[in-house]
Amino acid sequence: MSQQQDIADAAYERLRNGPIPISDLVRELREKWGAEFGVSAVHGFVREVATCLLHREVEIGEVIAGRFVPWGLEPWDADEKIDHDLMSMDAFFEDDSRYVFRSKQMPIKPPQHNAGSRPSSGDSLASETPSSLGPRG
Q: What is the structure's pLDDT at 1?
A: 60
**3-class secondary structure, 87:** helix
Q: How far is CA 115 from CA 82, 96, 97, 124, in A?
A: 22, 9, 11, 16
Q: What is the pTM of this model?
A: 0.74
DSSP bridge partners of 103? 58
> Smallest Cα–Cα separation from 11: which of 94, 119, 133?
119
Q: Which residues contact 13 (CB under 8 A, 6 or more apart)?
A: none
Instruction: Please tell me the least confidently modeled range out of 54-68, 69-83, 104-118.
Output: 104-118
80-109 tens-digit pLDDT: 999 999 999 999 999 999 999 999 875 555
Compute φ and ψ for 56, nearest 5 degrees.
Answer: -125, -165
Give the Cα separation of 137 and 78 in Å (integer).
23
Asked if residue 61 lies in contact with residue 71, where contact means CB atoms within 8 angstroms, the answer is: yes
